[in-house]
Chain A
Amino acid sequence: GQNIDQPTEMTATEGAIVQINCTYQTSGFNGLFWYQQHAGEAPTFLSYNVLDGLEEKGRFSSFLSRSKGYSYLLLKELQMKDSASYLCAVRDSNYQLIWGAGTKLIIKP
């Protein structure tokens, strides 16, 4: 079966750094996406990795290791508005997105 694991919830402090991990087992791999989802809203695209390594985009970075089936999303200089769920999604051999359950990130002042 296909499986994507993320921690259910994490807490961090405003201004700090947080790393959200994602491990996956899917039938094939054609890229990994991170989305942000505020409560009651649509997922919005954050980052994409298809090759091993780090992709940096402002305060957000995402890392991929295909051999380990592992990715993380790194958020720096946390702001209160970063409180949201962060969804890891893998595109499988059929180019279908398989979603993790999401990590709810709580930012405290």
Chain B
Amino acid sequence: EPEVTQTPSHQVTQMGQEVILRCVPISNHLYFYWYRQILGQKVEFLVSFYNNEISEKSEIFDDQFSVERPDGSNFTLKIRSTKLEDSAMYFCASTTGRYESNQPQHFGDGTRLSIL
């Protein structure tokens, strides 16, 4: 079964440094998402992406965050200057179509980001 893949599985970074988290969505999927989950807390929506542009973003997704689809397969989340509170698990998800009612989002295994 096709999978969403994310790299790295764990990223440790000094505060203030830039990080790029990488995702390869399922190949025939058109909508891509980033979520984060702080340890022990709920999944939080960050951003959705379609047709090479952001569809929606949450209040969390401020100017320090950006997303890109640099080629036909990768989907990246960049955090420009990391803060301690950015420490979380970051999940990438994809789905075939935003409006297709019964299509779930498929999640990658996540990247655990630890900011020191």
A: residues with CB less than 8 A from B are 30-31, 33, 35, 40-45, 48, 50, 87, 89, 94-102
Complex partner residue of A95 from B43, B91, B99, B106, CB under 8 angstroms: B99
Complex CA distance for A98 and B89, rounded to whole angstroms: 17
Instruction: State which of B56, B109, B110 has its C-beta within 8 Å of the C-beta of A96.
Output: B56
Interface size of B in residues (CB-CB distance below 8 Å): 20
Chain B 30-46 against A: per-residue CB contact (8 Å), 1 yes, 0 no?
00000000000111110
User: How many angstroms between the C-alpha atoms of A87 and B104 in the bound complex?
Assistant: 13
Q: Which residues of A contact B106 (CB under 8 A)?
A: 45
Are A48's CB and B110's CB within 8 A? no
> Is chain B's interface secondary structure helix, strand, loop, or mixed overall?
loop
> Which residues of B are interface residues toward A (Cβ below 8 A)?
41-45, 48, 56, 89, 91, 98-99, 101-102, 104-110
Instruction: A106 to B22: give the CA distance in the assembly, Å.
Output: 33
What 7 pairs between A and B have smallest CB-CB spacing? A45-B104, A42-B107, A101-B42, A99-B43, A95-B98, A42-B109, A48-B102
CB distance from B106 to the nearest CB of A (A): 7
- Known contacts A30-B101, A45-B104, A45-B106; is-contact A94 B42 (Cβ 8 Å): no
Cβ-defined contact, A101 with B48, below 8 A:
no
Smallest Cβ distance from B90 to chain A, in angstroms? 11
Known A42-B108, A99-B42: A94·B102 in contact at CB below 8 Å: no
Query: Of residues B43, B44, B91, which shows the largest number of chain A Cβ atoms within 10 Å of its Cβ?
Result: B43
Question: Which of A31, A44, A45, A100 has a CB less than 8 Å from the CB of B101?
Answer: A31
Taking CB atoms, residues of chain B closer than 8 Å to A100 are: 42
Known: A94-B56, A96-B48, A96-B56. A43 touches B102 (CB 8 A): no
